[in-house]
């Protein structure tokens, strides 16, 4: 059953703590997205990787957020230090090659990590 | 960047009614997807439809890429159709990121 897997599903943490969210893309998918969903802002793109290289992280607050792909089966999104305004649902999505101008593929989403910072 | 607008923002239907949701985008795209976010928050793929028409059961979608819009049709709506419907597009150029619209919140009442 090919699916994008995100862990943890829920996370409650205190302000100032480090938070790490993990994503396992669908096997063989070489494109990974991180999105944040809030009531006010909708679905915002935070970072975008292809073949493990970051292509666009312009939507991500650089002072506290970082995103990496240590290998093809794992993407991470880290917040340090966390703040109450970071409370949101964070989604990971993956797309199969060839994702690009001539690509004809769709993206699939994980179930999300619901983060609450108190 | 590309702008993606969806209408209507909210829709309330009686079970059995039909509806049409619209997605307008401001630039040429080579990918357009429709998603349903169910009440549990899951984003479910409905259609990959950069152009043309597709049907899947009670749902169908049409994209007219040259006029920069897509339509999602829901026929004989059921309470399980409730949730938020998003379209997302990918431009022909640039970094090929997937940009989401603002969504249409649908409530189907029995």
Distances (CA, A) of B37 to A55, A94, B20, B34, B104: 27, 17, 17, 10, 10
Closest C-alpha among B25, B104, B97, B92 to residue A93: B97
Interface check B97 vs A, CB under 8 A: yes
**Chain B closest-CA separation from residue A101 CA (Å):** 6
Q: Could you list the residue range(s) of the whole structural domain that residue B104 is in?
A: 4-109
Q: How many domains does chain B have?
A: 1
Residue of B nearest to A56 (CA): B95
How many residue contacts between A and B have a Cβ separation below 8 Å?
A: 56
Give burial (CB, 10 Å; 0-12/13-18/19+) of A6.
buried
Burial A52-74 (b: 16+ CB within 10 A, else e): eeeebbeebeeeebbbebeeeee
CATH number of the domain bearing residue B67: 2.60.40.10
Backbone angles phi, psi at B74, to 5 degrees: -120, 120
Residue A116 maps to a domain: no
- Residue matched to tokens 């993206």: A107
Closest C-alpha among A28, A31, A30, A4 to residue A90: A4
Q: How many domains does chain A have?
A: 1
Interface check A118 vs B, CB under 8 A: no
Q: Could you list the residue range(s) of the whole structural domain that residue A87 is in?
A: 5-97
Residue A110 maps to a domain: no
Q: What is the pLDDT of residue A102?
A: 60
Interface check B92 vs A, CB under 8 A: yes
- Whether the per-residue pLDDT at B42 is higher than 80: the answer is yes
- Whether the per-residue pLDDT at A46 is higher than 80: the answer is yes
The chain-wide mean pLDDT, for chain B, equals: 94
**Chain A closest-CA separation from residue B110 CA (Å):** 26
Number of alpha carbons in the 13 Å side-chain half-sphere of residue B59: 17
Put simply, the answer to whether B35 touches A93 (Cβ < 8 Å) is: no
Residue A28 maps to a domain: yes
pLDDT digits (tens, 9 = 90+) for B5-31: 999 999 999 999 999 999 999 998 888
Residue of A nearest to B42 (CA): A111
CATH number of the domain bearing residue A63: 2.60.40.10
């Amino acid at each position: 059953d090919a699916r994008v897997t995100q862990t943890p599903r829920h996370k409650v943490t205190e302000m100032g703590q480090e938070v790490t969210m993990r994503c396992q893309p669908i096997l063989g998918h070489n494109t990974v997205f991180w999105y944040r969903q809030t009531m006010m802002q909708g679905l915002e793109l935070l970072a975008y990787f292809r073949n493990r290289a970051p292509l666009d992280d312009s939507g991500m607050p650089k002072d506290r957020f970082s995103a990496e792909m240590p290998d093809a089966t794992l993407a991470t999104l880290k917040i340090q230090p966390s703040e109450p305004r970071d409370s949101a649902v964070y989604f990971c999505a993956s797309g199969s090659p060839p994702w690009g101008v001539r690509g004809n593929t769709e993206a699939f989403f994980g179930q999300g990590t619901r983060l609450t910072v108190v | 960047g590309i702008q993606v607008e969806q209408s209507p923002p909210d829709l309330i239907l009686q079970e059995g009614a039909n509806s049409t949701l619209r997605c307008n985008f401001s630039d040429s795209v080579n990918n357009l997807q429709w998603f349903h976010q169910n009440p549990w928050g899951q984003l479910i793929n409905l259609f990959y439809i950069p152009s043309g028409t597709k049907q899947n059961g009670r749902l169908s979608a049409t994209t007219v890429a040259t006029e920069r819009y897509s339509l999602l049709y829901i026929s004989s709506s059921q309470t399980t159709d409730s949730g938020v419907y998003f379209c997302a597009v990918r431009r022909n150029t640039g970094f090929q990121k997937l940009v989401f619209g603002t969504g249409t919140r649908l409530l189907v009442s029995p």
